[in-house]
Every structure is written in structure tokens, then in C-alpha cells.
Amino acid sequence: MACADAGARYVGFNFFPKSPRYLPPDRAAVLAADVPMGIAKVALVVNATDAELDHLTQSVPIDMLQLHGTEPADRVAQIKLRYGLPIMKVVGIAGAEDLAKIDAYTGVADQILIDAKAPKDAVLPGGNGLSFDWQLLTGRRWPLPWMLAGGLTPSNVAEAIQRTGATQVDVASGVEAAPGVKTAELIKAFGEATRND
């Protein structure tokens, strides 16, 4: 409800077991039932198998799949065809050379989430509280909607929007008091900051 009150258009449910934000499908189903109309319920998965996605899509009423692993474009297309759900593909960025990866998904994904590239030794593919050089996105456009992520907080999100031209932003660790523990106060502050750019 804090997300809805803050003006969120999406809420994410994390189904990556190694994440401190992980939700088992049965718990996610209960929470998803309380999401107000008009807010998309997004399932974050990492290199999920068909069996895992079958179970997830049959258990939780989700509106979109966020593919946060190393899924190649043909796998993204296969998942989209099999489940009939919009796909948000996450692409990690560290330098200008990483931007070319986005092009591989523009014909198969419905949205791109541009995140900070996880360090090589990271357990999590995202949600590490890291950002990247936002100037890399200045003036760049793609033929599908994109969302900015990576180290965003109530104190820096307005600057990130201004520098990148992002019309959508994603937050996880930036509204947490501890890993996996969101606070209504930080969620509210983040929402307010996105409108004060």
C-alpha cells in the first residue's frame, strides 16, 4: 500500500532464492491479491526454467515478467510466446561498451530495465545498491520503453532522471532500512523525489 500511495505504477515480487527480497510464490500470491487495480505486478526471475515459470505463473497473478539473468534474446522470445505476458529484460551497464547489449532485446522484449552491472563476484545480479555513470544514457533512445535502475535513492533519483531523461525508475535497496526490509517513509520520499525533478 505504501508503494501505491507513493504513486508506483509497478510493484515487484522477487523470486530469486538467493536474494534477501525473495518471496515464495504462496506468500507472493497473498500480497498480489492486495495490489490495487492499475498497478502492474511484476515477477523478477533469474534464468528461470520453464518448470519454474509454469509454477510461478499458475500460482501468482502476475502481469509482467522481469528477466534479470543472462537470458539471450531467443530465450526471451520463447518465454514471451509461452506465457503471453509482457517481458521486461534487465541489461547491466558498467561502461559504454555495454549499451550495445540493449539492441539485442529491442525486438523481443516489451521494456528494458537498465541497471548497474553487478560485480563479477556478486551473488545477486541486481539490487546491490550500485549505480553507473548516468551520462552514458544522455540523449540515448530506444524503440521501446526503458526504465532506469541501479543505486537510486530518494536523495539522487531526481538528478538521475534529469541526467538520463528516464521516464520510469526502479528502486529496491534505496528504500530499505536493511537488506530486504522496505520502509514506508523511504518509499514515500522516493515517490516525492521522482515528482520534484
pLDDT band at 172 (very low <50, low <70, confident <90, very high): very high
The pLDDT of residue 119 is 58
Is the model's pLDDT at 120 over the cut of 90? Answer: no
Contact at 8 Å (CB) between 105 and 76?
A: yes
Is the model's pLDDT at 127 over the cut of 70? Answer: no
Amino acid at residue number 115:
D
Sort 120 into a burial class: Cβ within 10 Å, 0-12 / 13-18 / 19+.
Answer: exposed
The pLDDT of residue 17 is 92
Quick: pLDDT tens for 61-113: 999 999 999 999 999 999 999 999 999 999 999 889 999 999 999 999 999 99
* DSSP string across 102-140: HHTTTTT-SEEEEEEPPPTT-SSSS-SS----GGGGTT-
Average pLDDT, the chain: 92
Contact at 8 Å (CB) between 4 and 31?
A: no
pLDDT band at 129 (very low <50, low <70, confident <90, very high): low
Domains of the chain with CATH codes: 2-194 (3.20.20.70)
List strand residue ranges (DSSP E) for the chain, in order.
Answer: 10-14, 40-45, 64-67, 87-93, 111-116, 146-148, 176-178, 181-182
Mean pLDDT, range 103-126, rounded to an integer: 81
Is the model's pLDDT at 58 over the cut of 80? Answer: yes
pLDDT band at 121 (very low <50, low <70, confident <90, very high): low
Residue 148 Cα to chain centre, angstroms:
8
- The pTM is what? 0.91
The pLDDT of residue 83 is 97
